[in-house]
Structure 1
Amino acid sequence: MIIQQLTNGLTLGMVYALIAVGYSLVFGILRLVNFSHGAVYAFGAHMAMIFVSIKFGIFPALILSIILTGVLGVVIDKLALAPLRAKKSKGIAALITTIGISYIIQNFLMIAFGTQTKFFPKIFDYGTVYIGGVGFSTTQIFIFGVSLVLLLVLTFIIKGTKIGLAMRAVEQNQKAAHLMGIDVNRVITFTFFLGGASAAIAGTLISGYYQVVYANMGFLAGLKAFSAAVLGGIGILHGAIFGGLVVGVSESFAATYLGGTYRDAIAFLILIIVLLIKPAGLFGKKGIKKV
């Protein structure tokens, strides 16, 4: 039972990690908590549902969802956040803007697709594989494998590519990066596209896991992923991944041993405990400003 719940939790945690990475990427570059990210995740799930329903197949549907959701992330930045940066508005203005964008996207989904839950076909469903007496559904194996590969790809992009080097430079100091010839706006645009793409992947995988899609599905998932990002140390990629796994596993065990009523609360309880002990998160470091 313990191994089974650990497997369930790790599968769910990998998806939370994908969403949390989107929070961490944007926060690392702009020092902004993008509260529209949960709604972007729901948008990605709905785009995948459209293409799956017209018989595109899961992989083409996922690719098209990644493109469209990534473009949505870029549009959010260009139309709403870039003008605020140009005017050098306070951070709270951008934060409130992302909350407003979240409700705009959510209401758009309600108008376009309705408020009722919609069916999403189970992905890669080929029965159950038994290893040592423990059953693993092929859907779980597929979700875990895809999430792991994509998180490794994201890590490689940030740690081993030229654009990733530029992202890390902008994260350290935007003005210095600009003086060194880095196109800061292009880096920010790429970051928002990457965040939207990761949200689309997470939305498609989780919809195929639970087989439902609905307009406000991103609200709670977004909060849990934000908690995961803060838990690991927001702005730190490996911290977001670890935080996602902790949230997923704790939720799985809470649902089994405490009841479904506590499955959502346990993640936030762990977050509060960790922040009381280490406010910067498990992998975060306290920032020191020289004056």
Structure 2
Amino acid sequence: MDIFFQQLVNGLTIGAMFALIALGYTMVYGVMKLINFAHGDMVAGAAFVGLTIYTHIMGEAASLLAVIAIFLLTAAVVAFLGILLERAAYRPLRNAPRLSAVVSALGASLIIQNGIMLVWGPQMRIFPELIPQVSWEFGGVIVSLIQFLIMGVSLLLMVALYLFIEKTRMGAAIRAASIDQDAARLMGINVDRIIAVIFIIGASLGAVGGLFIGLYYRGITFNMGWQYGLYAFVAAIMGGIGNIPGAMLGGIILGLFNAFIAGYVSSTWADAFTFILLIVILIVRPTGILGERVAEKV
């Protein structure tokens, strides 16, 4: 039983990171009906930006205020890059065939990935120990401070996002644009502004997820965005792409599934079992766990 509860804690931690990153995919798809394949690479870039801010700007200070500042500055930088990405790679192709936007997204992904490699190098970098290595034991289950923080902060961010989408005027505008952009424009909604907002939010949440990955695993590489981006993309599909609560649920389910496969089978089988789970879910629920069938305009 100790193994079960230990893997439960590990799975919730990993799932929280997957959920944060998955929200970036699902928010962009919800409004633009586009998969932002560059999102995972921006997550990787966030980890390196955070490393640079810590090393060259904060002077390697690890106080609570410094850690908060690193998160805020990194989120701001990546959000700005998200806006640039939308304006340069996606906005010019908004009315083009979908294949053109997909190719543009893949090209942007390669540009970001190679940009990270050119700036920070191809070798693995060790992420700084911003959070003290403190842990507690509860009945044989070890929970670290970083796990508490990842789960707690992720929960707060996800609740805040849900309330923002459901309870604010901007959130109502985002929901309207996700249903029908043309109708939203007729209602006086600035759709370009809405798209900019979702890129800012998605990139910021991805930045937090990237920093959490660095803090949790300690090693970061220029191409790690492919791995974590793929997991988050799978989580978004599992939950129902375009559905915000679905992305959260999909991330948690995928994190738990990976942790239990690693604990009871082998971590080398995690990828294979992940896609088996995805196939099973899509056979039972083609639109994802919380996804709904939507009639498209013709």
- TM bracket, shorter-chain basis: over 0.9
* Aligned-residue offset at 1:230: 0.3
Contact 1:9 1:253 (8 Å CA) reproduced: yes
Corresponding residue number in structure 2 for 1:34: 36
**85, 91, 101: which one aligns with 1:82:** 91
Identity %: 38
**47, 50, 63: which one aligns with 1:48:** 50
Corresponding residue number in structure 1 for 2:277: 270
Normalising by the residue count of structure 1, what TM-score does the alignment of the two structures yield? 0.96
Judging changes above 3 Å, is the alpha-carbon distance between structure 1 residues 267 and 136 closer, same or farther for their aligned structure 2 residues? Answer: same
Gaps of at least 5 residues in structure 2 are none
Judging changes above 3 Å, is the alpha-carbon distance between structure 1 residues 290 and 35 closer, same or farther for their aligned structure 2 residues? Answer: closer
Specify the code of the residue in structure 2 equivalent to 1:150. Answer: L
Please list every run of at least 4 consecutive aligned residues from structure 1 whose deviation after the TM superposition is greater than 3 angstroms. Answer: none
Corresponding residue number in structure 2 for 1:58: 67
* Distance (whole Å) between structure 2 residues aligned to residue 100 and residue 179 of structure 1: 33
Normalising by the residue count of structure 2, what TM-score does the alignment of the two structures yield? 0.94
Contact 1:233 1:282 (8 Å CA) reproduced: yes
Specify the code of the residue in structure 2 equivalent to 1:34. Answer: N
**93, 112, 117: which one aligns with 2:100:** 93
**154, 160, 173: which one aligns with 1:153:** 160
**CA RMSD in angstroms, aligned pairs only:** 1.3
Corresponding residue number in structure 2 for 1:132: 139
Contact 1:123 1:139 (8 Å CA) reproduced: no
- Is 1:73 aligned with 2:75? no
Corresponding residue number in structure 1 for 2:221: 214
- Is 1:248 aligned with 2:255? yes
Classify the secondary structure of the residue corresponding to 1:129. strand
Judging changes above 3 Å, is the alpha-carbon distance between structure 1 residues 172 and 121 closer, same or farther for their aligned structure 2 residues? Answer: same
**147, 163, 175: which one aligns with 2:170:** 163
Classify the secondary structure of the residue corresponding to 1:288. coil
Corresponding residue number in structure 2 for 1:280: 287
* Distance (whole Å) between structure 2 residues aligned to residue 32 and residue 239 of structure 1: 17
Judging changes above 3 Å, is the alpha-carbon distance between structure 1 residues 286 and 210 closer, same or farther for their aligned structure 2 residues? Answer: same
Q: Please show how residues 109-124 of structure 1 align to structure 2 within 5 Å.
A: 109-124=116-131
* Distance (whole Å) between structure 2 residues aligned to residue 186 and residue 264 of structure 1: 37
* Distance (whole Å) between structure 2 residues aligned to residue 34 and residue 217 of structure 1: 16
Gaps of at least 5 residues in structure 1 are none
Classify the secondary structure of the residue corresponding to 1:33. coil
* Distance (whole Å) between structure 2 residues aligned to residue 97 and residue 74 of structure 1: 15
Judging changes above 3 Å, is the alpha-carbon distance between structure 1 residues 112 and 176 closer, same or farther for their aligned structure 2 residues? Answer: same
Question: What is the aligned residue count?
Answer: 289
